[in-house]
Amino acid sequence: MSEPFLECAAMAVELRGRRIIDGVSLRAETGQVVAIVGPNGAGKTTLLRALAGLIASTGEVRVAGEDPRQASAQANARRRAYGAQQPASAWDYRVSDLGEIIGAPDAYADQLGSLDLSELASRRLSQLSGGEQKAAHLAMTFASLDEPYGALLLLDEPTASLDLARQTLVAATLRRFAQAGGTVIVATHDLTFARTCDAVLVLAEGRAIGLGVPSAALTPAVIAETWGASAQAEA
């Protein structure tokens, strides 16, 4: 097996005295798109934030051989990008401002193009629909990395609130990113999307109850245990 690009072992996170993540292990290789799935409150967002080095955690974490918790925010930002579930801005920037704010206007303009947002570049964020705002923030996240090679994308529900066309564009962008030598970890409720990923981690109450290729991780038994019997029928 090749060296993993991202690896965490026995990772645990406590927030306000409550254990949210409890001994999760995960490895992702360069070129992989990995989905983290689980019901509401399973700890997907917390795990993603911990992997990004945004909150304190215990256990082992390695991104490209280094512990993101020991690195500066600037050093981390060079090799990984984090996209929040409900990104929002306190001020009503123009869509085009976002590229200048992260210091990468050209890369951002390219990403706007690949998400079919170029025509909205001169609008204010408040003039966009919720899905369009989300997509603009995703473009900002993608563009903040110099190049996909050797970089990590951590995205929280990237396709939520997007229309079908843009969901497909985002999925294609993630796949291109991975094929160019990047690694992608996505927290998602969308099991259809998760089945297209290279690996799936099933999270319930902060613990990993399934990990592997989608067909092995998302078995009817795991789905029933995680989401209940009615979900099994849906899936």
Partner 1 sequence: MTATRATLAGLAGLAALVALALSVGAQGFGWGDGGAWALLRAPRVLAALAAGLALGVGGAAQQGVFRNPLADPGLTGVFGGALFGIAVLLGVAPETAWRHAWLLPVAAFSGALATSALLVVCGRGGSSARLLLTGLGLNAFTAAGTLVIASRSGESRELLTNGAYGDWLGMATLELTWMPILLCLAATLLLLTKARSLDLLAFGDDAARGFGTDVAGVRRDAVLLTALAAAAATCLVGQVAFIGLLAPHLARAIVGPRHAGVLPCSALLGAALLLAADTLGRGLWPQAPLSAAAVTAVIGAPLFIWIARGRHE
CA-CA distances (angstroms) from residue 20 to 16, 86, 136, 214? 10, 20, 30, 24
| Collapsed DSSP state (helix, strand, coil) of residue 23 | strand
Asked whether position 235 contacts partner 1 by CB under 8 A, the answer is: no
Among 11, 47, 81, 162, binds partner 1 (CB under 8 A): 81
Q: Is 87 in the site for partner 1 (CB under 8 A)?
A: yes
> Segment 101-160, which members bind partner 1 (CB under 8 A)?
101-103, 137, 141, 144
CB-nearer residue toward partner 1: 44 or 49: 49
When asked if residue 177 is in the footprint of partner 1 (CB under 8 A), the reply is no
Q: How far is CA 111 from CA 26, 41, 89, 165, 216, in A?
A: 29, 31, 19, 15, 34
Cβ proximity to partner 1, 27 vs 137, nearer residue: 137
- By CB under 8 A, the count of residues binding partner 1 is 30
Beta bridge partners of 200: 35, 212
**Cα torsion 196, 5, 82, 39: sign:** positive
- Residues lying near partner 1 in the complex (CB under 8 A) are found at 49, 52, 54, 72-74, 76-78, 80-84, 87-94, 97, 100-103, 137, 141, 144
